Structures are given as C-alpha cells and as structure tokens.
C-alpha cells in the first residue's frame, strides 16, 4: 500500500541540500479554489460533496503534468492514515476532521497535494525544500491553469477567486515558509519578531506543537492578505524581503550566542544528544524539543558526527502515526514512548 511506503522515508521537501536550509526548512504555496455552480462546503449535502469530489478528482487525475499521483479517500480511510498524512503535512487537521465525501490527490514524490472538500472545494499545494518559492509558484500556477481549463472556477473580475471565507478571497494564495529559529528563542527575541510580523500582515504559528505553542522552535510564516496583491508580488516579498531578514536575524543571534554564551549553548546541545542517545521512554513533545536543539548544534558546527538528514528523518519517524504505521499496529502512549526511544537510540548510536 502506498501510505506504508510513505511512512518509512523522508519527505523530499525535508531534505538538507537546499537554499538556506540550515534555517529555512521548506516552502509551500497553497491556492484556494471553488467550482462555479456549486454551494460552498458548509452548505453542501453529501450528494453535492460527492459530485464536487468526483469532478475535481477526475480533472486532476487526468492531468499529464503531475507525474506519478494517487488518490486517498479521507472519508473512508482509517484515523491512523489520516494522522500520517497530517504529520507529513499533506492534509490539514480540518480535512481529517471534516464530514462527508472528501479526499486528497498526492504526488508520489510528496511535492504536490490537492485537498478536495476541505474548507474550499479545492486546496492545491506545492512544496519545496529550503527557500524555493519561485519554483513553487511556477509549478502551482501551471497546475492551476491546467485545472482551470478543465473546470470552471468561481471567479469574479472584481473580487477574484471566490472562497468560502472572505479572508482567502482574491488570489487565494497562501505562501508559507517553515523556519527553525532556536537562536532567536534563546536570545529572547521572538516577541520582537512576532510584533514585526503583525505589522507586515504576516501570520506566524508554531509547528509540531499542539495549538499555537511551538515545540522545538519551528515556525511557519504565512501571508494573510490575498486581495489586491498579485501572487508574484506576494512571492517576491517573501523571497527578497521577509525571509532574508528573518534569516539574517537568526544568524546574528546564533553568532552572538557563540561569542557570548558558548558554554550554555554547548551544554544545551550536548544534553540533548545525551538524552536522545540513552532515553528509554520519551514523549513526542520531549523528542521534538531535544531534536530541535540537536539540529541547531549540527547546523552551527558544534556536532559533527550526525547529519541534518538523520535529524530531519527522526522528526517524522518519531511522530505517533509514523511509529504505529511502521510498526504495523496500534500502540498506546506508553508503548509509543518506548518505541520512540528505541528508534532514536538506533539512529543516533
């Protein structure tokens, strides 16, 4: 089965050889689209949702520019499968928790996903490792054009692409960049970053954590304004202004730590490695936190014997659904903590 193949390997967008990859983990662009002549999801009965699902699925599966793709029925799948796709960021919690006919078309290389009947009829997403939004935009623009020639989108010349929530109206574009900011965290500068982001109409949310709290200093930075700004301008702002600035601040913070607090830094990193190498029970929260510190240590050259790819791989493999699918059975939290610790020891020792 396809999902099993996914669970044992690293996502391509999570690879280390990419622009600014010590700080910028991945880039993603999402487009929100709806079919003309149908109600939005919240007012659809199951029959209409089924119709929409079929129309969009047929249109996307018949495209020849997508390479190897497959469809996952989310309404019919198991909870564990849905969790796996959430952990790999291929579907949203919203789609997993939804009701009625819905699904996702995924590229085998995991660089493309089309969620059907999420908040909007169609949520296209393209991913890339590192800071690579230009490439993402080119790709998703082509895919969107191709789909737009097969079906009719709900569109108004004045308001642009019409979406279920007015906050996505217009271009329907959401540009998101995942960054690792342990330096800003350790030097107590995250609050400043959040303030600046608010002024620039950006949203920042923690990743891998529950709710808004970030575990392990990973953050996703996204645009919020989708009306009155072209897609190119939004992408350009991220590529030339927003992300380079954040990267610069994070590097400065790291440099300062090396000069002023090298002992504290090395202590944090060494403790993280020691715990990960020897723990017998470890929660996913603690694992994320320690892996984050370890990742910083490797990127700052304080630890030489472990590769970033190994750490990235462990971020995925130690998450609950990944552990269970790779083990081939359901596990309770304590069994998961044991298996997580085993997985970490095996990879790091």
CA 210 remoteness from chain centre: 14
Binding segment for other proteins (CB under 8 A), chosen from 162-170, 262-270, 293-301, 318-326, is: 162-170
Near other proteins by CB under 8 A: residue from 8, 54, 109, 167: 167
How far, in Å, are 36, 118, 169, 172, 230 from residue 159 at the CA level?
14, 21, 7, 10, 12
166 binds other proteins (CB under 8 A): yes
Footprint on residues 180-209 left by other proteins (CB under 8 A): 198-201, 203, 205
Q: Please, which residue, 19 or 244, has the CB nearer to other proteins?
A: 244
> Considering Cα of 66, then 163, then 24, then 238, what sign does the dihedral take?
positive
One DSSP character per residue, 72-88 reads EETTTS-HHHHHHHHHT
How far, in Å, are 37, 196, 216, 270, 296 from residue 242 at the CA level?
38, 10, 22, 32, 21
99 binds other proteins (CB under 8 A): no
Binding segment for other proteins (CB under 8 A), chosen from 40-48, 180-188, 262-270, 280-288, is: 40-48
Residues 101-130 vs other proteins: string with x where CB under 8 A?
A: ------------------x-----------
Least distance from other proteins to the Cβ atom of residue 267, Å: 34
Q: In the structure encoding, which two tokens stand for residue 346, read together?
A: 């095996």
149 binds other proteins (CB under 8 A): yes
CA 182 remoteness from chain centre: 18
Residues 213-252 vs other proteins: string with x where CB under 8 A?
A: -----------xxxxxxxxx--------------------
Binding segment for other proteins (CB under 8 A), chosen from 21-29, 60-68, 137-145, 243-251, is: 137-145
Binding segment for other proteins (CB under 8 A), chosen from 36-44, 83-91, 254-262, 336-344, is: 36-44
Q: Which of 242, 223, 253, 6 is nearest to 110 (CA)?
A: 6
273 contact partners, CB below 8 Å, separation of at least 6: 294, 297, 303, 306, 348
H-assigned helices in 261-307: 262-278, 284-299
Q: Please, which residue, 80 or 200, has the CB nearer to other proteins?
A: 200
Q: Please, which residue, 123 or 340, has the CB nearer to other proteins?
A: 123
Q: How many residues are given for the chain?
A: 349
Task: List contacts with other proteins (CB under 8 A).
Answer: 34, 36, 38-43, 119, 141, 144-145, 148-149, 152-162, 164-167, 169-171, 173, 198-201, 203, 205, 211-212, 224-232
């Amino acid at each position: 089965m396809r999902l099993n193949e996914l669970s044992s390997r690293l996502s391509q967008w999570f690879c280390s050889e990419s622009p600014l990859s010590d700080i910028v983990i991945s880039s993603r662009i999402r487009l929100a689209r709806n079919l003309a002549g149908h109600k939005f999801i919240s007012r659809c009965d199951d029959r209409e949702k089924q119709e929409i699902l079929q129309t969009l699925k047929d249109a996307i599966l018949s495209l020849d520019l997508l390479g190897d793709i497959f469809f996952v029925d989310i309404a019919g799948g198991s909870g564990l499968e849905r969790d796996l796709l959430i952990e790999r960021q291929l579907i949203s919690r919203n789609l997993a928790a939804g009701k009625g006919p819905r699904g996702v078309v995924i590229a085998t290389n995991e660089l493309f996903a089309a969620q059907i009947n999420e908040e909007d009829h169609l949520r296209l997403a393209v991913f890339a490792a590192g800071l690579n939004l230009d490439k993402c935009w080119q790709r998703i623009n082509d895919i969107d054009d191709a789909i737009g020639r097969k079906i009719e989108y709900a569109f108004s010349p004045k308001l642009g692409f019409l979406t279920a929530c007015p906050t996505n109206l217009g271009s329907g574009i959401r540009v998101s960049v995942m960054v690792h900011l342990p330096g800003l965290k350790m030097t107590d500068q995250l609050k400043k970053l959040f303030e600046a982001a608010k002024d620039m109409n950006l949203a920042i949310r923690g990743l891998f954590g529950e709710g808004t709290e970030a575990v392990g200093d990973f953050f996703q930075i996204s645009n919020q304004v989708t009306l009155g700004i072209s897609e190119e301008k939004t992408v350009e702002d991220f590529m030339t202004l927003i992300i380079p600035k954040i990267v610069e601040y994070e590097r400065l913070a790291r440099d300062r730590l090396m000069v002023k607090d090298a002992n504290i830094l090395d202590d944090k990193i060494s403790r993280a490695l020691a715990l990960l190498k020897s723990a017998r029970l470890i929660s996913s929260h603690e694992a994320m936190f320690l892996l984050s510190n370890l990742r910083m240590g490797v990127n700052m050259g304080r630890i030489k014997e472990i590769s970033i790819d190994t750490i990235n791989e462990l971020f995925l493999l130690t998450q609950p659904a990944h552990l269970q699918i790779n083990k081939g059975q359901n596990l309770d939290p304590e069994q998961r903590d044991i298996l997580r610790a085993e997985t970490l020891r095996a990879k790091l020792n």
